[in-house]
Amino acid sequence: MHPITRALGLEVMAWNRRGYDAVEKNTEKVLARILPNLTKGDILLMHEATPVAEAVLRAILETKAADFRSVPDSLI
């Protein structure tokens, strides 16, 4: 644990899954990086202003909606 976060009683969190949506313009390629082995507890990095962001998010939610929940920034 990082000494500053420990002193503040906080934990460091980071994403462990990414689809490279900021550089990849093909939705299927981004999904092929994200969906295999996506499990509960994974933290997915996505960029909201990419050309494929909406389609990727929609596909993930349609595929995994019953298994996952999003966490608002206010809880991070």
Q: What pLDDT, on a 0 to 100 scale, did the predictor assign at position 61?
A: 86
Ramachandran angles phi, psi of 30, nearest 5°: -65, -45
Any idea where the domains of the chain sit in the sequence? 14-71
Q: What pLDDT, on a 0 to 100 scale, did the predictor assign at position 41?
A: 82
* Exposure letters 8-35 (e unless 16+ CB within 10 A, then b): eeeeeeeeeeebebeebeebeebbeebe
Average pLDDT over residues 27-33: 95
Q: What pLDDT, on a 0 to 100 scale, did the predictor assign at position 76?
A: 58
User: Whole-number mean pLDDT of the chain?
Assistant: 86
Average pLDDT over residues 63-75: 73
Q: What pLDDT, on a 0 to 100 scale, did the predictor assign at position 4?
A: 92
**Amino acid type, 61:** L
Q: How confident is the model at residue 59 (pLDDT cuts 50, 70, 90)?
A: very high
Q: Own/partner pairs for 6-14, CB < 8 Å, 24+ apart?
A: 13/43, 13/76, 14/43
